[in-house]
Amino acid sequence: MTETPNPNIVDTDSLTGEMHPIRRVVLALGSNLGERLASLQGAVDALADTPDFFVTGVSPVYETDPVDAPEGSGPYLNAVLLADTTLPAARLMERALAVEDAFERERSEVRNAPRTLDVDLIVVGDRRSNEDFLRLPHPRAHERAFVLQPWHDLEPDAVFPDRGPIADLLGATDSTGVRKREDIALEVE
Ligand SMILES: Nc1ncnc2c1ncn2[C@@H]1O[C@H](COP(=O)(O)OP(=O)(O)OP(=O)(O)O)[C@@H](O)[C@H]1O
Ligand SMILES: Nc1nc2c(c(=O)[nH]1)N=C(CO)CN2
C-alpha cells in the first residue's frame, strides 16, 4: 500500500510559517559624521521598534579614533547593542541597512568613508554566512577595539566564535584610541 500524508493531520509549520529559533545578536553601531549621538540613539530606537527583535543591552558610548579610514576622517562614537530575535539573519541585515538609510547614510566608493551611521552585525547566534551581502560572524570585528571594548562592558565572558574569549581578543588589541564617554549614554525605551 502506498503511504500518503494524512490530510487530517495539520502541519503546524504550514499554519505558522517556518519556525525560527531565538538567536542572540550582537550589533555594533558607529557614527563619525553629523549629529553622531542622535544617529546612534535613532538606531537604537529603530532597532528596538523592530517586531520580533528584543533589545537586551546597550553599552556605554565610546569616542574612538578612526581605524583604516581616509585622511581627515573625524572621530567616531561607537557602541554595541545586544538583542534576542527570531528574525532570520538576512532580514536583520536588511533592517540594519534600512536603519542606516533612515539616518542619511551615503554609500561612497571610498572605503570606510565618514558616515552618519553604520550598523554592523557582529554575531547572530551560531549563524554562519560567507556572502557579500552577509558575512557572519563579522570578519573584522575580532580585531577592533571599538567593537570589543563596548561588547566586553556588557558581556565580559562572551566568546567570539572561532576566535576565543573577547577579553583575550581585547587584550591583544591596541585600545589606546578608544575612550569611554562618561558624559553621554544611549537609552532603551
Ligand atoms: N556582518 C555584516 N554587517 C554589516 N554589513 C555586512 C555584513 N556582512 C556583509 N555586509 C555588507 O556590507 C555592506 C556594508 O558595507 P559597509 O560599507 O557598511 O561596510 P563597512 O561597515 O564600511 O566596513 P566593515 O564591514 O569593515 O565594518 C552591505 O552591503 C552589507 O550587506
Ligand atoms: N573608530 C572606528 N573606526 C572605524 C569604524 C568605527 O566604527 N569606528 N568603522 C569602520 C568601518 O565600518 C572603519 N573604521
Among 145, 135, 138, smallest CA distance to 161 is for 138
Measured from the alpha carbon of residue 178, the closest ligand is 2
Residues in the chain where the model's pLDDT stays below 50: 1-14
User: Which DSSP string do the residues of 144-159 spell out, in sequence order?
Assistant: -HHHHHHHHHH-TT-E
Of all protein residues, the one whose alpha carbon is nearest to atom 12 of ligand 2 is: 112
Phi, psi of 3 (to 5 degrees): -80, 130
Q: How far apart are CA 166 and CA 143, in angstroms?
A: 10
Q: How far apart are CA 160 and CA 142, in angstroms?
A: 7
pLDDT tens-digit map of 72-82: 999 999 999 99
Single-letter amino acid code for the residue at 99: V
To the question of pTM greater than 0.95 for the whole model, the response is no
Whether ipTM exceeds 0.90:
yes
In eight-state DSSP terms, residue 126 is T
Among 36, 30, 27, 88, smallest CA distance to 58 is for 27
In eight-state DSSP terms, residue 42 is H
What is the model's pLDDT at position 19?
Answer: 74
Task: Write down the CATH number for the domain with range 18-138.
Answer: 3.30.70.560
What is the model's pLDDT at position 17?
Answer: 62
Give the distance from CA 94 to its chain's centroid.
12
What is the model's pLDDT at position 3?
Answer: 41
Residue ranges around ligand 1 (CB below 6 Å): 93, 112, 118, 120-121, 133-136, 138, 140
What is the model's pLDDT at position 121?
Answer: 98
Of all protein residues, the one whose alpha carbon is nearest to atom 12 of ligand 1 is: 133
To test ligand 2's pocket by mutation, which of 32, 173, 175 has the most ligand atoms within 8 angstroms of CB?
32
To test ligand 2's pocket by mutation, which of 64, 81, 105, 122 has the most ligand atoms within 8 angstroms of CB?
64
What is the model's pLDDT at position 35?
Answer: 96
